[in-house]
A = this chain, B = another copy of it.
Amino acid sequence: MSESPVPHEPPIYRRIADGLRARILAGELRDGDRLPGENALMAEYAIARATARQALAVLINEGLAVPRRGSGVYVRLFKPIRRHGARRLSREQWGQGRAIWDADTHGRPFTVDHLEVARERASEHVAGILDSAEVWARRRRYSVDARPVQLAASYFPAHLVQDSAITLTDTGPGGVYARLGDLGAAPAHFTEEVRARMPQPRESALLDLPGGTPVIAITRTAYTSGGLPVEVNEMVLDSAAYVLQYDFDA
C-alpha cells in the first residue's frame, strides 16, 4: 500500500473554473451573460489557450454554461432536477391520479413534446425481461423550462395491455401505472439499473447536448406484488440536468 498520490492543490484551470462558478452561483454573473473569453482568461491569468479552454469546459460540462459557435460561452442556469428514486413512484403519487413528473419538478412546468405509441416486436433484451415477444411501446421526450432533459421508452407486454388506455396517447388520471392497476397488474416493486455513458448522436440531437456531456441511462423494471414484470422503461437523461437521489435504511 503506497502513499496516496492525491494532490491537495487543484490545477489552475480548475481554480479559474471554481472562481467563475462562484460568481455564477452568487448571482454576479447571470443567466445569458457572456463569460470571460479565452483571450481574456489568457491575459488575466498568464495561461495558455488550452488551459483557458479547459476552465470553460468545466463549466460547460457541469451544465452551468453553454458555448455558442463563434460567439463565446454564456451562462446557462438550470436548476438540476432532483429525481427521487423511491418517493416519485409511491402508490400515493399515481394512486391519486397525479403525474409522476410532478414529484420531480416540484411544480416547474414540464412538457412531453414528442410522443409515439406503437405495438411492435420487442428487442431481445426487453422480450427477455417481459417474457413477451410483442410489446406496446410508449416513446416520449420530456422538457423542463423549455429544455429537453429526458428521452424515455416504456414497454408493456402486448397481451396484457392490448385494448387498454395504455395503448392510447392519453392514458388518463394517474397514467400508465393507474391503468396497470385497473388491469389487476399494479406495480409493487421497482428495480432501477443506472449507468453513465457518452450519448449516441441521435440522443445528442434530441436532447440538444453540448459536446462532452454524458448521459445517465436508467433501465427500470416494474413488478407486480406477485413478481410479474409488467413494464420496462429505458430512460436517457441529460447528466447536466439531473441529480438522482436514492434513500434507504441500513
Binding site for B on A (CB under 8 A): 1-7, 11, 14, 61-62, 85-86, 89-91, 112-116, 139-141, 169, 177, 186-198, 200-202, 206, 212-216, 239-240, 242-250
Residues of B within 8 A of A248 (CB): 85-86, 89, 189-190, 192, 246, 248
Chain B contacts for A214, CB-based, 8 A: 196-198, 214, 239
Other 8 A-B pairs with CB < 8 A, given A1-B114, A197-B214, A197-B240: A4-B116, A5-B206, A61-B198, A189-B248, A198-B213, A214-B239, A246-B248, A248-B248
Residues on the B chain within 8 Å of A186, using CB = 250
Closest beta carbon of chain B to A154's beta carbon, Å: 13
In chain B, what residue has the closest Cβ to A7?
B202
Check A113–B190 contact: CB distance below 8 A: no
A202 CB contacts on chain B under 8 angstroms: 6-7, 11
State the copy count for this chain: 2
CA distance A213 to B5 in the complex (A): 21
Known: A61-B198, A214-B196, A216-B196. A188 touches B86 (CB 8 A): no
Say whether, besides A91-B250, A196-B196, A239-B214, A1 and B191 are in contact (CB < 8 Å): no
Q: Which residue of chain B has the shortest Cβ distance to A60 in the bound complex?
A: B198
A-B pairs with beta carbons under 8 Å apart, 28 shown: A3-B116, A4-B114, A5-B114, A5-B206, A6-B116, A6-B139, A6-B206, A14-B200, A61-B197, A85-B246, A86-B248, A187-B250, A189-B247, A189-B249, A189-B250, A190-B247, A190-B250, A191-B246, A191-B247, A192-B248, A193-B245, A194-B243, A195-B239, A195-B244, A196-B196, A196-B214, A197-B214, A198-B213
